[in-house]
Chains A and B, each alone.
Chain A
Amino acid sequence: MSIAIQTGLHAPVARSRKIKNSAATVFVTGCFLLAMIPLVWLTWTVVSKGLHAITHASWWTGDQRGISYRDGGGGMLHAFVGTVEQVAVSTLLSVPLAIFVAIYLVEYGRGRLARATSFMVDILSGLPSIVAALFVYAVFVTTFGGQRAGILVSLALVMLMVPIVVRTTEEMLKLVPDELREAAYALGVPKWRTILRVVLPTAFTGIVTGIVLGIARIAGETAPLLILVGYSRNLNSNLLSGYQGSLPGMIYDQVTNLGNTTGLDANGHRVQLHYAADRMWGTALTLIVIVMALNLIARLLARASKLSR
């Protein structure tokens, strides 16, 4: 009896602790499942609604010339080309700048200048894309009187891509063991050559991973497109003049015209037209596929890296 009383005294305490523990486990697992709902839901939506549009060959080869929001047909080639061009120029400008900033932070920087630089890189990574776009607008359109064009978008995207590449490159450079640098110095190799021919190559795969991630991020940016270039339905591969299509731009274009969507079918009945919606989801699917492919490439690259955390 007394033993039962003793164990009885302990049991309630243990039980409430156990309950709390189980509740916590349920909570954290629930959080994960909760986060998965939008992921799965959104993916499902985009795939199911977008598949129809992208499975036509013309989707990949044609643009939207002459196709109104009430018509079907055409493709997204103009948008694809526009995005590719804008992103490519952006990458070409961002990468050297970002790599040098990272080199500065890791190999040269000391003291207040380095701290200030690192701080500013953080600020840049939190910079809203609309502010970056407004800045480019304020400088090139308002002050220098330029025209809106694809190249301005590239410039805004540079400001968004640089911090990403700086941080990943910085991380990679820090992972290169100091022993390698010392080995090179001990051979009588000057510092700049050491960085260029030993440190950077060792960190190369990781740096490329960062660049790919940066590309994936800016490919989907819309705000600069709204402010800095007009959307064109025709294929325009000239970054320097004229309106230009882009993937996010095309999505936005279809969205803003979704209202205009009733027409007459073959029997003269008024029906809801689905073309604009189809194109919107189709472009969304195209964009997501591209972005996800880039992320996958980055992940595979990261695995091939010679540096480990």
Chain B
Amino acid sequence: MSPADEPRVLAPRPSAGSSAFQENGARVLAPRPTAGASDSVAELTELDSQPVHLTEVAAPPKPIGAGLGGVHQRHRLGDRVFAGLATGAGILTIILIALIGLFLLAKAWPSIRDNQVNFLISRAWTVTGNELRFGVVDLLYTTVIASLVAMALAVPVAVGIALFITQYAPRSLAKLVGYLVDLLAAIPSIIFGIWGIYVLAPHLTGVQHLLYHVRFIPLFKDKGFDTGTVFNAALVLAIMILPIVTAVSRDVFERTPTERVEAAWALGATRWEMIRLAVLPHGRAGVVSGAMLGLGRALGETIAVTLILSTVGQGNAFSWSIFNGGATFASKIANAAAEFNNPKQTGAYIAAGLVLFVLTFLVNAAARTIVSRDKLK
């Protein structure tokens, strides 16, 4: 019964009195069962004129000598159980992610194996009857381009708002603005979806026609759809990821070291110059990390994109244009959800889900490595 698992704020370490220290540590007294607590309590109750029932509390009702062992074990058990539960919960989290990957792979593999075209290269998607031809190229392009456009739209605005909140606005206004931007994050994505397609999209046709004028840029090439375009989806995605990029940027701008800020002021810099000299350089990593978190969110967004994006049929030529319809990984799966009838068919969609899982895993991992989690301390 070594006192190995003592209460500790942080980490396991060698228990005091372990053999490592026998050499220097002159242990004058031979170790023996310490009956100290029981003895002292017995003396206490003698001294104390009023019989306080501390005996039951400070030592278990056992004969002196064995007493300490009993209480000892009660802590041990409580501590061990509790620590076990906590550690178990942590391990469970790790196992869960592993299981996700494993199960998705296991269920997708039969379909991939029987795929009549190459999964990674083909643009086809027919999963009915005996035909199993599915490839993710179109899905990959649409997913990535919608998310990247969303990021390109959202990040500058998010940085602007974050600067507004942390550097320009007075305290009370800053709180209000922060609160309002957070409200955007609270709106469920399905509502963004219906608003996006029924209310916003009709208004965007004008913008799309305008951008069509610069169609030498491949992104704006076709006049594919009027509403339900990738552009529509990207814009709504931008609105949806705005709050998270703003929040992360805000956080990192607030932590700009005062010395740097004051150094800029002392040089007679204008506010904008101070921001350029002190705030932005310090916040660069944080903003990038926030942008990646937003990217991850956009990649995985399901229902808003499903409602907005018009699906396109098979066999049309590939186009870079964002004025077409299409499908992302998420929307493809969502649209087919009602028809998960046979395992091979379902497996194809699970394969698509697996690619999405890997994609978001990588993006989130990158976001995390870019900036340490110091910001939560």
| Direct A–B contact present (CB less than 8 angstroms) | yes
Q: Is A147 an interface residue (CB 8 A)?
A: no
Among the stretches A67-75, A233-241, A247-255, the one at the interface with B is A247-255
| Residues from chain A with Cβ under 8 Å of B271 in the complex | 21, 24-25
B93, B187, B293, B353: residue with the most chain A Cβ atoms closer than 10 Å: B93
Among the stretches A1-9, A134-142, A260-268, the one at the interface with B is A134-142
Q: Check if B86 sits within 8 Å of A123, measured CB to CB.
A: no
Minimum CB–CB distance for B344 against chain A, Å: 11
Taking a contact as CB atoms closer than 8 A, the residue among B85, B177, B182 that contacts A100 in the complex is B85
Complex alpha-carbon distance, A132 and B99, angstroms: 11
Q: Is A109 an interface residue (CB 8 A)?
A: yes
Q: Is A271 an interface residue (CB 8 A)?
A: no
Q: Check if A107 sits within 8 Å of B86, measured CB to CB.
A: yes
| B98 nearest in chain A by CB position | A120
Complex alpha-carbon distance, A223 and B350, angstroms: 14
**What are the interface flags for B34-60 relative to A under an 8 Å C-beta threshold, 1 for contact and 0 otherwise?**
000000000000000000000000000
Complex alpha-carbon distance, A120 and B103, angstroms: 17
| A292 nearest in chain B by CB position | B186
Q: Check if A135 sits within 8 Å of B330, measured CB to CB.
A: no
Q: Is B141 an interface residue (CB 8 A)?
A: no
Minimum CB–CB distance for B355 against chain A, Å: 10
Q: Check if A28 sits within 8 Å of B163, measured CB to CB.
A: yes
| Residues from chain B with Cβ under 8 Å of A193 in the complex | 78
Complex alpha-carbon distance, A109 and B93, angstroms: 14
Q: Check if A17 sits within 8 Å of B195, measured CB to CB.
A: no
Q: Check if B94 sits within 8 Å of A134, measured CB to CB.
A: no
Q: Check if B157 sits within 8 Å of A248, measured CB to CB.
A: no
Q: State which size class the interface on B falls in.
A: 35 or more
Among the stretches A41-49, A56-64, A85-93, A201-209, the one at the interface with B is A41-49
Knowing A128-B330, A223-B330 are in contact, say whether A30-B160 is a contact too (CB < 8 A). Answer: yes
| Residues from chain A with Cβ under 8 Å of B377 in the complex | 174
Complex alpha-carbon distance, A174 and B9, angstroms: 11
Knowing A17-B270, A120-B97, A131-B100 are in contact, say whether A45-B195 is a contact too (CB < 8 A). Answer: yes
Taking a contact as CB atoms closer than 8 A, the residue among A124, A127, A181, A291 that contacts B188 in the complex is A291
**What are the interface flags for B6-22 relative to A under an 8 Å C-beta threshold, 1 for contact and 0 otherwise?**
11111110000000000
| Residues from chain A with Cβ under 8 Å of B75 in the complex | 190
**What are the interface flags for B58-98 relative to A under an 8 Å C-beta threshold, 1 for contact and 0 otherwise?**
00000000000000000100110111011111111110110
Q: Is A116 an interface residue (CB 8 A)?
A: yes
20 new A-B pairs (CB below 8 Å) besides A25-B168, A27-B160, A284-B190? A21-B273, A29-B164, A45-B195, A97-B89, A104-B86, A104-B90, A110-B12, A120-B93, A126-B360, A126-B363, A130-B330, A130-B356, A135-B103, A137-B340, A139-B99, A196-B82, A216-B186, A219-B188, A220-B187, A291-B186
14 A-B contacts (beta carbon < 8 Å): A35-B157, A35-B242, A42-B187, A107-B86, A109-B87, A110-B11, A117-B93, A130-B330, A134-B350, A190-B79, A191-B7, A216-B186, A222-B302, A287-B191
- Interface, chain A (partner B; CB < 8 A): 17-18, 20-21, 23-25, 27-32, 34-36, 38-39, 41-42, 45-46, 97, 100-101, 103-105, 107-111, 113-114, 116-132, 134-135, 137-139, 141-143, 159, 162, 167, 170-171, 174, 178, 181, 185, 190-196, 216, 219-223, 226-227, 248, 251-252, 255, 280-281, 284, 287-288, 291-292, 295, 299
